[in-house]
């Protein structure tokens, strides 16, 4: 018989009484590791049987989960942590009636009623699960595993980390810089200083996100060749903070579904790994994702809408990737160029850390990276966490100023100085620049209707062969075809007033009617 003497006692009775008693007991903290998230009760529990990640390009989930408490879960938790009983009358051995305790499991409908409400004022709110220490908004480091009342975050460290001193010594700071710059990152074929600086900023971003209170840009890690080290770089933040690898969806609807699904999981980094070479990342859904603090979408398989805090680092890897639409101004790029035919044949035994692709998968080595990174962060906050001025990145300006200050404090140059390069891989920007430049070269600033401009784009036939006077620079529809006059007019209207390099489209009315006309001006 199970010993229940050390368990809290909960006496229940009729259905309404049972609802009131159990709800009051839950609100007073009857169940350990129970919190409220978005009005619903959740229970923190260790995930059993999880397979440890053995490669940098595999999922690396956190070791705990916030499980929603439904009636079945509540019944199991009550049986484990409490003695729930009711009084009943029975005949004694002498035949006289006696009152005895009878341990019970409340009916499912009763437990459903207990959980129906969304107001639990006495229970601590759970605002997220993190896989590594983060900087609180007051500049202190959350590094004790478990629930943190100051932030509402639950730290479920993937690696057991010794306490990091609030004020690292100069020797510890020097050692941390040497390790990160001269050992861990020294052998990657960075295209320039910006790529290394941008990567260190991305590596530190999950630590600083709550402190900066800012949105985080999209991270693009690409290379000119396979086997350049892209996957190892994404494994840095991914394995430290928990990562989920998902396939790239070329249709916006499928991309939206995958985003909603992965936001329900406890990971700090989401990676679209190994996109097809030359893929153009141009998605209104993705542009919306990285510029919203709360992602709202219909729950898959249900009719209700879920709202989830977007506190992830979103990354993509591939070779010679491009961006389009609004993604150029929302993207931080890290580009690698080994400048050799077979980079996989490099002698990794001579690297600062030999065989880094295998080294980074060991938890003790992930701890080493994280320790040194936290030392650098706390050395920066000890000096007041100085920011850099004059840095602007649309909605991500607070992020850029804080991370720029962190890098500048440690003498790491080049942060975001490759922004122009990102615009150069913006396929949409490149097409429109070429189109406007050729248009102005052919017609100057002469106003033209969409029909007149479209006729000018028709190939002529001077010598029995098609000749394209625009040399392939006329703007096309998304399917690669020349637009008809109506489509062209809509395209031009949508671009009016938007500068593309040194050129801009202007729109007006024809002086002999109400037809729209367009022309190009230069800076």
Euclidean distance between CA atoms 205 and 161, whole angstroms: 19
Please tell me the predicted confidence (pLDDT) of residue 20. 94
d(CA 442, CA 99): 101
DSSP labels, 437-494: HHHHHHHTT--B-HHHHHHHTS-B-TTSS-B-TTTT-S---TTSPPPPHHHHHHHHHH
pLDDT at 360: 86
The angle, 0 to 180 degrees and rounded to 10, between the axes of the packed helices 193-212 and 397-409 is: 120
Instruction: Tell me if 208 sits within 8 A of 234, measured CB to CB.
Output: no
CA–CA gap between residue 8 and residue 77 (Å, rounded): 12
**Do 180 and 372 contact (CB within 8 A), yes or no?**
yes
Q: What's the CA gap between 338 and 188, in Å, rounded?
A: 8
Give the per-residue pLDDT at 54. Answer: 56
For residue 249, give both structure tokens: 């969806």
Tokens of 366: 């992930």
Query: What SS3 state is found at 138?
Result: coil
Q: DSSP assignment of 324-352, as one string? A: -TT-GGGEEEEEE---SS-GGGS-GGGSS
- Given the structure tokens 């306490």, which residue do they identify? 163
CA atoms of 126 and 140, how far apart (whole Å): 19
Structure tokens at 439: 């248009």
Helices 230-241, 363-382: inter-axial angle, 10-degree rounding: 80
Q: Measure the CA–CA gap between 475 and 85, rounded to whole angstroms.
A: 76
Torsion of CA 371, 374, 378, 381, to 10 degrees: 170
* HEC-encoded secondary structure of 278-331: CCEECCHHHHHHCCCCEEEEECCCCCCEEEEECCCEEEEEEECCEECCCCHHHE
Determine the pLDDT at residue 370. Answer: 92
Q: In 3-state terms, what secondary structure has residue 398?
A: helix
Angle ∠(288,294,297) on CA atoms, nearest 5: 75
How is residue 45 written in tokens? 């529990």
How far is residue 10's CA from residue 22's CA, in Å, rounded to a whole number? 8
Long-range contacts: 86-94, Cβ < 8 Å, 24+? 86/11, 86/12, 86/13, 87/11, 87/13
The phi, psi pair for 437, rounded to 5°, reads -65, -45
Beta bridge partners of 99: 89
Residues whose CB is less than 8 angstroms from the CB of residue 437 and which lie 6 or more positions away in sequence, other chains included? 473, 501, 503
Q: Cβ contacts of residue 507 below 8 Å, gap of 6+?
A: 492, 493, 496, 497, 516, 517, 518
User: Exposed, middle or buried, 416 (CB in 10 Å: 0-12/13-18/19+)?
Assistant: buried
Reading the chain (523 residues) residue by residue, the pLDDT tens digits are: 455 668 999 999 988 999 999 999 999 999 999 999 988 999 998 887 655 555 666 777 778 888 999 999 999 999 999 999 999 988 777 777 888 889 999 999 999 999 998 999 899 999 988 888 999 999 999 999 999 999 999 998 766 788 999 999 999 999 999 999 999 999 999 999 999 999 999 999 999 999 998 999 999 999 998 888 888 888 777 777 888 889 998 888 999 999 998 888 878 899 999 899 988 888 889 999 999 988 988 766 666 677 888 889 999 999 999 888 788 889 999 999 998 888 888 887 788 899 888 888 888 888 899 999 999 999 999 999 999 988 888 789 999 999 999 999 999 999 999 887 777 677 778 888 899 999 999 999 999 999 999 999 887 655 545 678 898 899 988 777 889 999 999 899 988 898 888 999 999 887 766 789 999 999 8
DSSP 62: -
Where do we find the tokens 């900023």? 201
| Other residues' Cβ atoms within 10 Å of the Cβ of residue 159 | 18
């Amino acid at each position: 018989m199970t010993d229940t003497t050390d368990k809290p006692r909960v006496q229940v009775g009729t259905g309404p009484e049972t609802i009131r008693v159990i709800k009051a007991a839950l609100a007073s903290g009857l169940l350990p590791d129970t919190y409220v998230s978005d009005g619903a009760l959740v229970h923190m529990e260790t995930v059993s049987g999880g397979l440890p990640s053995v490669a940098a390009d595999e999922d690396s989930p956190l070791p705990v989960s916030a499980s929603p408490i439904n009636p079945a879960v509540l019944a199991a938790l009550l049986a484990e942590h409490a003695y729930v009983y009711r009084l009943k009358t029975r005949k004694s051995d002498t035949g006289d009636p006696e009152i005895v305790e009878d341990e019970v499991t409340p009916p499912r409908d009763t437990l459903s009623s207990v959980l129906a409400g969304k107001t639990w004022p006495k229970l601590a709110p759970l605002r997220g699960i993190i896989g590594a220490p983060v900087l609180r908004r007051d500049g202190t480091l959350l590094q004790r595993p478990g629930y943190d009342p100051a932030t509402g975050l639950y730290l479920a460290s993937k690696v057991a980390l010794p306490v990091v001193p609030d004020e690292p010594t100069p020797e510890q700071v020097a050692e941390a810089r040497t390790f990160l710059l001269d050992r861990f990152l020294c052998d990657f074929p960075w295209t320039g200083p910006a790529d290394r600086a941008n990567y260190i900023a991305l590596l530190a971003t999950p630590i600083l996100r709550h402190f900066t209170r800012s949105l985080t840009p999209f991270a693009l890690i690409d290379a000119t060749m396979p086997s350049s080290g892209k996957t190892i770089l994404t494994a840095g933040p991914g394995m430290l903070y928990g990562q989920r690898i998902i396939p790239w969806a070329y249709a916006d609807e499928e991309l939206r579904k995958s985003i909603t699904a992965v936001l329900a999981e406890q990971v700090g980094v989401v990676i679209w790994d190994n996109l097809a070479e030359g893929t153009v990342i141009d998605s209104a859904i993705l542009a919306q994702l990285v510029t919203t603090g709360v992602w709202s979408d219909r729950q898959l398989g249900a009719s209700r809408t879920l709202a989830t805090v977007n506190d992830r680092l979103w990354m993509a890897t591939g070779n010679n990737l491009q961006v389009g639409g609004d993604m150029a101004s929302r993207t931080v790029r890290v580009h690698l160029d080994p400048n050799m035919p077979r980079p996989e044949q490099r002698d990794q035994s001579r690297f600062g850390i030999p065989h880094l692709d295998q080294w980074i998968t060991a938890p003790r080595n992930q701890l080493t990276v994280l320790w040194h990174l936290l030392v650098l962060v706390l050395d920066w906050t000890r000096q007041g966490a100085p920011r850099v001025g004059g840095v602007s990145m649309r909605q991500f300006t607070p992020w850029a100023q804080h991370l720029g200050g962190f890098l500048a404090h440690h003498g790491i140059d080049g942060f975001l100085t490759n922004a122009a390069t990102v615009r150069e891989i913006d396929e949409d920007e490149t097409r429109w620049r070429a189109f406007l430049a050729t248009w102005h070269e052919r017609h100057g600033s002469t106003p033209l209707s969409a029909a007149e401009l479209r006729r000018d784009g028709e190939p002529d036939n001077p010598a029995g062969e098609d000749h394209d006077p625009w040399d392939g620079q006329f703007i096309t529809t998304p399917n690669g075809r020349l637009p008809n006059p109506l489509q062209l007019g809509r395209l031009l209207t949508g671009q009016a007033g938007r500068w593309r390099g040194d050129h801009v489209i202007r729109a007006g009315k024809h002086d002999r009617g109400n037809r729209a006309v367009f022309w190009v001006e230069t800076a």
